[in-house]
């Protein structure tokens, strides 16, 4: 397994439309393993392949929630999930706010509204088909990651004013880190 570089805004690769996965082979499964390792180290709860420079329709998610939902100090349970060629078959009219982050827009968070529930279909890394109704943080995260497959970042959901504020804060943070890049 290997940790891969995470591409950050404004890298144009993040704006590419990812291509469907057609071959479910060991090369794909190695990429999946590398993406989980990269995501856990980052740390994050999701990652789309395009974020590591591979514009294919592959997403990994692990919400890493505490074993006991009533005890935030209880040990985290790992539940790695792989979504390949995901499709949203249905979404609720009700939307919910969630303060999102993105490993490609490091250290920046902003509230985004998304449908509360979705029905999704996808394949796993062995080509097996899955279909499920999803809500809560998994629905938020899957929709965020599916946006990556279309070249969309969470900041694109913000007003121009809020987006500019986030990008200004990002530039300031990068300057403080000593790795100034144009936002």
Chain residues in the site for ligand K1U (CB under 6 A): 43-47, 51, 98, 100-104, 140-141, 144-145
From the list Zn ion, ligand K1U, none, which binds 120 (C-beta under 5 to 8 Å, kind-based)? none
Contact status, residue 47 vs residue 59, Cβ threshold 8 Å: yes
Q: Where are the beta strands (DSSP E) in 81-164?
A: 81-91, 95-100, 110-115, 118-123, 129-134
- 97-136 residues in contact with Zn ion (CB under 5 A) are 102
Cα 175 to chain centroid, rounded: 25
Residue 103 Cα distances to 26, 88, 118, angstroms = 26, 23, 23
Which helix or strand (DSSP H or E) is residue 61 part of? strand 58-61
C-alpha–C-alpha distance, residues 106 and 14, integer Å: 14
Look up 145 and say whether it is catalytic: yes
Structural tokens at position 105: 């827009």
Q: What does 85 interact with, of Zn ion, ligand K1U, none (CB < 5 to 8 A by kind)?
A: none
Residue 65, strand partner residues: none
Contact of residue 141 among ligand K1U, Zn ion, none (CB under 5-8 Å per partner type): ligand K1U
> Cβ closer to ligand K1U: 65 or 124?
65
- Work out how close the CB of 105 gets to ligand K1U at its nearest, in angstroms, rounded to a whole number: 8
Q: Interface residues for Zn ion in 42-61 (CB under 5 A)? A: none
Question: Catalytic: which of 73, 145, 150, 176?
Answer: 145
* 31 vs 68 by CB, closer to Zn ion: 31
Residues taking part in catalysis: 145
């Amino acid at each position: 397994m290997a940790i891969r570089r995470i591409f950050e805004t404004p890298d144009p690769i993040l704006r590419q439309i990812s291509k469907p996965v057609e071959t479910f082979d060991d090369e794909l499964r190695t990429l999946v393993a590398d993406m989980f390792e990269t995501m856990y180290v980052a740390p994050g709860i999701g990652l789309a392949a395009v974020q590591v420079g591979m514009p294919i329709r592959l997403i990994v998610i692990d919400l890493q929630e505490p074993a006991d939902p009533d005890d935030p100090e209880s040990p985290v349970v790992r539940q790695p999930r792989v979504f390949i060629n995901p499709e949203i078959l249905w979404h609720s009219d009700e939307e919910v706010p969630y303060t999102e982050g993105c490993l490609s827009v490091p250290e920046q968070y902003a509230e985004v509204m998304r449908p509360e529930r979705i029905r999704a279909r996808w394949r796993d890394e062995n080509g097996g088909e899955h279909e499920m109704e999803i809500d809560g943080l998994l629905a938020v995260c899957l929709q965020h990651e599916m946006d990556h497959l279309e070249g969309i970042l969470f900041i694109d959901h913000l007003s121009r004013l809020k987006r500019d504020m986030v990008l200004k804060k990002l530039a300031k943070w990068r300057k403080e880190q000593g790795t100034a890049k144009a936002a």
